């Protein structure tokens, strides 16, 4: 391998992918809690041309209590649906960082059959390696829902990158989607319209949320077929909540990092109080609604080990 291509190979990069509302934010932050893991921070996400800002990632790495305080709410939830207090925003925090992809020239949704742009891929590889190096990290973790649609581009940019694919019961995902503020006005990549527009034209919103999970899973599975199986770790959200120690150990084994190399890591994870969640959709949906979603998602649910 040429001396200039080590960063291009991407062995120090892991992409977290999964359908929206599947728990990818939690996995992203769980990995980034370890001192050996760098991340795209809120600062670099906002100013993607200033990769040197990743040096600030060393602050929470040195004082891990800041991660628990700033990245999670009091109950340990990773997804924060309201602005953080101003003081907490000064702590570098893992973010989806769409700004870096846009800055590098990576399209939000590549057109079908669109060949990856070598220049854009080169820029992305340099940017992520710069973040890893400035962070003083062994690996850098990147999570962005749009990456579900960019796997061919990511492979071109970083052929040795690793991928953690998180799957969650599609019924729980559909229920969760209907409860977040951005859902109604979010353009569905597979429809080219927002749920609000489609509901206005007569579509059923629950069916749209259920179909969205199915479409995202299909696209992810198509992308993962481009990768060597050893570069992909499959995880289930429900398993993570049921056995967080076991599942995080499995993730770090995949990354080649010992969790005990950071003496504060396990305590930080335990402070989140992760535990299995009730299936709220079972209580809130009518029998007819459950039947609609099971009919839409049934074959995919069963393929991923979920019972109807």
With CA atoms as reference, report the closest residue to 63 among 33, 24, 98, 22: 33
The pTM (predicted TM-score) of the whole model is 0.94
Model confidence at 217: pLDDT above 60: yes
Rounded Cα gap, residues 101 and 54, in angstroms: 16
Q: Cβ distance 281 to 290 under 8 Å? A: yes
DSSP 85-104: PGGGGGS--B---HHHHHHH
pLDDT of residue 7: 45
Query: Among residues of the chain, what percentage have pLDDT more than 70?
Result: 97
Residue with tokens 């710069």: 130
**For residue range 99-126, what is the model confidence (pLDDT) as tens digits?**
999 999 999 999 988 999 999 999 999 9
Question: What is the set of domains in the chain, with CATH numbers?
Answer: 8-303 (3.40.50.300)
Average pLDDT rounded to a whole number, residues 181-199: 96
Would the pLDDT of 88 be above 50? Answer: yes
CA 138 and chain centroid, separation: 19
For β-strands 37-39 and 13-17, DSSP reports them as unpaired
- Using the predicted structure, report yes or no on whether residue 4 has a pLDDT greater than 60: no
Compute the average pLDDT of residues 63-70: 94
Torsion from C-alpha of 126, 131, 135, 139, nearest 10 degrees: -80
């Amino acid at each position: 391998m040429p001396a200039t291509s080590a960063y291009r190979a991407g062995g120090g990069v892991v992409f977290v992918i999964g359908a929206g509302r599947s728990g990818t934010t939690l996995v992203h932050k769980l990995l980034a809690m370890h001192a050996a893991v760098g991340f795209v921070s809120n600062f670099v996400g906002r100013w993607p041309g200033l990769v040197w800002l990743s040096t600030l990632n060393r602050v929470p790495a040195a004082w891990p209590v800041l991660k628990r305080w700033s990245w999670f709410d009091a109950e340990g939830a990773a997804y924060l649906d309201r602005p953080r207090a101003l003081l907490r925003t000064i702590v570098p925090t893992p973010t989806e960082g769409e700004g870096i992809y846009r800055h590098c020239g990576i399209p939000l949704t590549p057109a079908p059959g669109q060949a990856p742009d070598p220049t854009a891929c080169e820029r992305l590889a340099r940017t992520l390696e710069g973040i890893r190096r400035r962070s003083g990290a062994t690996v850098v973790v990147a999570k962005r829902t749009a990456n579900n649609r960019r796997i061919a581009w990511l492979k071109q940019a970083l052929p040795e990158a690793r991928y953690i694919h998180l799957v969650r019961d599609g019924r729980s995902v559909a229920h969760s989607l209907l409860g977040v503020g951005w859902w109604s006005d979010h353009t569905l990549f597979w429809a080219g319209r927002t749920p609000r527009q489609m509901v206005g034209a007569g579509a059923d919103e629950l069916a749209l949320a259920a179909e969205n999970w199915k479409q995202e899973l299909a696209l992810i599975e198509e992308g993962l077929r481009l990768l060597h199986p050893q570069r992909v770790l499959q995880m289930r959200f429900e398993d993570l909540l049921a056995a967080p120690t076991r599942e995080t150990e499995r993730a770090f084994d995949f990354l080649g990092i010992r969790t005990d190399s950071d003496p504060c890591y396990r305590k930080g994870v335990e402070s989140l109080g992760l535990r299995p969640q009730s299936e709220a959709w079972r209580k809130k949906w009518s029998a007819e609604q459950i039947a609609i979603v099971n009919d839409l998602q049934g074959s995919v649910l069963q393929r991923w080990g979920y019972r109807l």
